[in-house]
Structure 1
């Protein structure tokens, strides 16, 4: 098999070394990984089995108890050191991300920043979130109540290919600092970025074996991972998410899922058309549209239609597409042939049913096998595949609206609700409109990064776009079991033996009425 040792010497050693981090009983079974930029072979990883998953889970559990016994501050220092190592060695992983995923380097850099931000945030906040908290007891002064948080044990993390570093390791960081072990399955098209991150975690001081990685198709390994885990973090399609939820429910384990989207951008009638158009380019074409929170629907009022459309087309046509491993590209490649087929099918179907392509609409094999032009459609209507289904590519549909209320209603008329965007000169108006939108995150005068990168705030989807949240307090406490410890002093809860039950009921009724009038009593 051809390797990258001559074409890309910067990462040849990594591509040879990283697969050894995956333990499989049958070392002869391999899976080929393809260079998304060229379609040529990139490397190989083991093809794991259900038995390999069980063995990995056993190894992780053997390390987890000692890790959980360490002080939170000690565990947090691993994340501090990871933060520094990721920034210091970013060129290695930027190459890996570009090669296995195909994205432009500027979009790969977003993944580096995300891991650094997430590591720093939970390093600085984990102790606060995890420390025991005093709660109000049922009998004031007599009942002492404490809330504790214990690690779940083994957290399964199943991640997709579109953000192989971010989604391959960032969700694991709060799970680890909370005292858990992690059983990870990166997408079988993009395993190297995840394996690189695990290697850096161990260099940062994480015990070897605390994160176990299995590689192979989700159709074979998904169920075994659910069967071995105490909690599951899944990012992927809504259809697969429903299957995952059913299997997790059978085991009575909790889960968190970020799923599909058909995200909307609203241009309000007071918006700056040029700024909104530049924002729409970022919103629709970052990572070649292969971004769960990217925009696929844009609603523009009649008064701004010509000004917005003209600039949007102009800025889109100016985007530079290249396969280079540097910062010259504005947009990179799709991941593989299947994704290219989906994008082509959506655009061709829309055109055949009357939609208009304002720009783009063609593959670019002259640049690379999976490149596709950033594409703007108008005249999209119900009955076209692109109208309701997620394309997950550089394709966006633009619609005229007559009012703000119409834009809100049409944006909400979707089974998805992940990330929306609102553009206006009046931030307060933007927040009012945002609050009416049925999406887990809404960015005002930004495409997606403001909400995503604000890791102190929860991030996740409404409706068919997911269950649970990542980031913030919820993003770490979901990986723990809550425990309440109540200590009673003096009088027991309930009627003491020396008072009649009816008399106790009378006294308690009067007491509850009195407490109702005391400010601050819950």
Structure 2
């Protein structure tokens, strides 16, 4: 007779009868082999052409969100939305900063401590759940993103982060779904990595254990998809996660969290934290069960978090050495050779430097042109830029919108003021800004007379491009300059050339200058499942989003060896006297 742990009742043939299934909490289906996860694929982008059904649906979602401004980012507890009577904060609409976009709760240190306790209480059941069931949650979430929630999350990303429809679609719908699908597939590959060589009578296995404590995920404003990746990578591997999104992306991130809960994520596996970043981080870094940081943001912030974690290691605060995983800043380059297709290089450069107002960690911000082709490049650039407009994100004709907030606007506009007065550079495009209604900065390009100008080393994270025109016969020497410039950052780069010998030379000489190097393609071109992404030096730990590398950082492997027969003797054959 079974012990009754729980029961689920189903109607039988007679209305008076009930069939009861007795289920142990840790029961799992018995199968003759392992389950196989569906093959992942890249979500096709909606085009949003004029008069298309998807444009009409997106317009409806935009109108609906605008009618509810300011949107309320909820406080979740145990998977439920709780009323909030404490301190709140708000973020403005970047394209119309007098309008508040979202209000969100500011948690106290006690709230954060309770969130840690709730996550740890959920940990055992989550890590013991068979992988195929954990995987199903994220695959279901991908379907919800690309169907039921597609236009809502795209509209929220447009209004809250200043993206146009194309950029928001790529990010919040397609790339977010790609992360969930491919991370699940990558996890299965890891679990399938088992020893194939063994001694007769022995069996060896690999156990990919989740980390013993909890993971702290900090996501940036610029990609809704990144938050989903930072959370899904450790959670898929059986970890519990405390997630603090950027305030400038808090509402779109809350939709991601809502989708995960609807997809079946157990309530306390991921904790959604909002409020003062320093308070939240200090509380987390004081806890002995802090096991890993999964971070995307600025290099300076990552350095400070690294130092804080190191201090905790010194003082024996943590049970184990925390894993520090970060993808940070970039000062990325396009290098054009005299053999390049100039028109194509120009178009790639405009997209890489100015799409989403240059607010991608992979955006191109330094450009190197050969003297023999420079004028032709600049002429085509000026012609193409006549088609590029700055405007409201919901204006489908606008190529780029505002920068994210007042702090960013001030940083970039002050740099433009400094550059406009600098006798060592010449402004050839843009050089103006307007913050009266929204945080708008015109796409700007300066030509510098020297290759060591500050434009080639200072990260601005906006639509500002520095150009150096080099003598054609100094190409190889220039490669050394490019490698040494960039403010110590090494995220992305691109070489444009038809001469394959030049491509080979650049790839070899710039081997450590970029974690992602593109040939005849812009620096913002990584696609989940096709190009893993990440940089080294001061651009991060280069664990490569979209790779086994990254998921392995959130497991602690255990090796198990079993012998099937007894040991018959203590002595070795060599101990024999005959």
1:436 corresponds to 2:548: no
Give the Cα separation in 1 of the matches to 2:263 and 2:540.
Answer: 32
For residues 457 and 359 of structure 1, do their structure 2 counterparts lie closer, same or farther at Cα, with a shift above 3 Å needed? Answer: closer
- Which of 170, 181, 188 lines up with 1:120 in the alignment? 181
Aligned to 2:89: 31
Aligned to 1:215, what secondary structure does the other structure show? Answer: coil
1:135, distance to aligned residue in structure 2 (A): 5.7
1:248, distance to aligned residue in structure 2 (A): 2.4
* Structure 1 contact 258–465 (Cα < 8 Å) conserved: yes
1:362, distance to aligned residue in structure 2 (A): 0.4
Aligned to 1:465: 539
1:34, distance to aligned residue in structure 2 (A): 1.1
- Which of 218, 228, 248 lines up with 2:277 in the alignment? 218
Give the Cα separation in 2 of the matches to 1:224 and 1:390.
Answer: 30
1:259 corresponds to 2:319: no
Post-superposition CA distance 1:412-464 (Å, at most 9, x none): 113110111122235685365234322111122221343x2143553211111
Aligned to 2:45: none
Alpha-carbon RMSD:
2.8
Post-superposition CA distance 1:22-61 (Å, at most 9, x none): 7899732001121111002122111112222211111122
Give the Cα separation in 2 of the matches to 1:262 and 1:115.
Answer: 25
More helix by share: 1
Aligned to 1:103: 163
Alignment of 1:110-189 (within 5 A): 110-111=170-171, 112-131=173-192, 133-134=194-195, 136=197, 140-141=199-200, 144-152=203-211, 153-163=213-223, 165-189=224-248
The answer to which of 275-284 and 249-258 deviates more is 249-258
Aligned to 2:154: 94
For residues 348 and 459 of structure 1, do their structure 2 counterparts lie closer, same or farther at Cα, with a shift above 3 Å needed? Answer: same
Give the Cα separation in 1 of the matches to 2:548 and 2:142.
Answer: 20
Aligned to 2:48: none
Alignment of 1:346-495 (within 5 A): 346-354=415-423, 355-365=425-435, 368-379=437-448, 381=450, 385-401=454-470, 402=472, 403-414=474-485, 415-425=488-498, 430=503, 433-437=506-510, 438-450=513-525, 452-455=526-529, 457-469=531-543, 470-487=545-562
Give the Cα separation in 2 of the matches to 1:496 and 1:25.
Answer: 69
Aligned to 1:339: 408
* Structure 2 contact 142–180 (Cα < 8 Å) conserved: yes
- Which of 109, 114, 117 lines up with 1:58 in the alignment? 117
Post-superposition CA distance 1:238-271 (Å, at most 9, x none): 1211111122232421111111111111112211
1:282, distance to aligned residue in structure 2 (A): 0.7
Give the Cα separation in 2 of the matches to 1:119 and 1:435.
Answer: 34
For residues 24 and 442 of structure 1, do their structure 2 counterparts lie closer, same or farther at Cα, with a shift above 3 Å needed? Answer: farther
For residues 208 and 424 of structure 1, do their structure 2 counterparts lie closer, same or farther at Cα, with a shift above 3 Å needed? Answer: same
Q: How many residue pairs end up in the alignment?
A: 492
1:68, distance to aligned residue in structure 2 (A): 1.6
1:42 corresponds to 2:133: no
Aligned to 1:508: none
1:217, distance to aligned residue in structure 2 (A): 2.9
1:215, distance to aligned residue in structure 2 (A): 0.8
For residues 324 and 296 of structure 1, do their structure 2 counterparts lie closer, same or farther at Cα, with a shift above 3 Å needed? Answer: closer
1:20 corresponds to 2:75: yes
Structure 2 unaligned residues grouped into runs of 5+: 1-60
Aligned to 2:248, what secondary structure does the other structure show? Answer: coil
* Structure 1 contact 343–393 (Cα < 8 Å) conserved: yes
1:198 corresponds to 2:253: no
1:103, distance to aligned residue in structure 2 (A): 2.3
For residues 169 and 498 of structure 1, do their structure 2 counterparts lie closer, same or farther at Cα, with a shift above 3 Å needed? Answer: closer
Give the Cα separation in 2 of the matches to 1:285 and 1:304.
Answer: 22
* Structure 1 contact 456–473 (Cα < 8 Å) conserved: no
Post-superposition CA distance 1:179-227 (Å, at most 9, x none): 1121000112220111100101111121123211111232222232344
* Structure 1 contact 382–388 (Cα < 8 Å) conserved: no
Aligned to 1:400, what secondary structure does the other structure show? Answer: strand
1:71 corresponds to 2:144: no
For residues 18 and 338 of structure 1, do their structure 2 counterparts lie closer, same or farther at Cα, with a shift above 3 Å needed? Answer: closer
Give the Cα separation in 2 of the matches to 1:382 and 1:43.
Answer: 43
Aligned to 1:467, what secondary structure does the other structure show? Answer: coil
* Structure 1 contact 130–477 (Cα < 8 Å) conserved: no
Give the Cα separation in 2 of the matches to 1:144 and 1:496.
Answer: 21
1:326, distance to aligned residue in structure 2 (A): 4.8
Post-superposition CA distance 1:488-522 (Å, at most 9, x none): 57798xx9645678x99xxxxxxxxxxxxxxxxxx
Aligned to 2:75, what secondary structure does the other structure show? Answer: helix
Give the Cα separation in 2 of the matches to 1:388 and 1:128.
Answer: 40
Give the Cα separation in 2 of the matches to 1:16 and 1:369.
Answer: 19
Which runs of 4 or more aligned residues in structure 1 lie more than 6 Å from their structure 2 counterparts after TM superposition? 22-26, 489-492
Aligned to 1:321, what secondary structure does the other structure show? Answer: coil
1:290 corresponds to 2:346: no
Give the Cα separation in 2 of the matches to 1:342 and 1:287.
Answer: 17
Give the Cα separation in 2 of the matches to 1:175 and 1:326.
Answer: 37
For residues 484 and 498 of structure 1, do their structure 2 counterparts lie closer, same or farther at Cα, with a shift above 3 Å needed? Answer: closer
Query: What is the TM-score when the length of structure 2 is the normalising length?
Result: 0.79
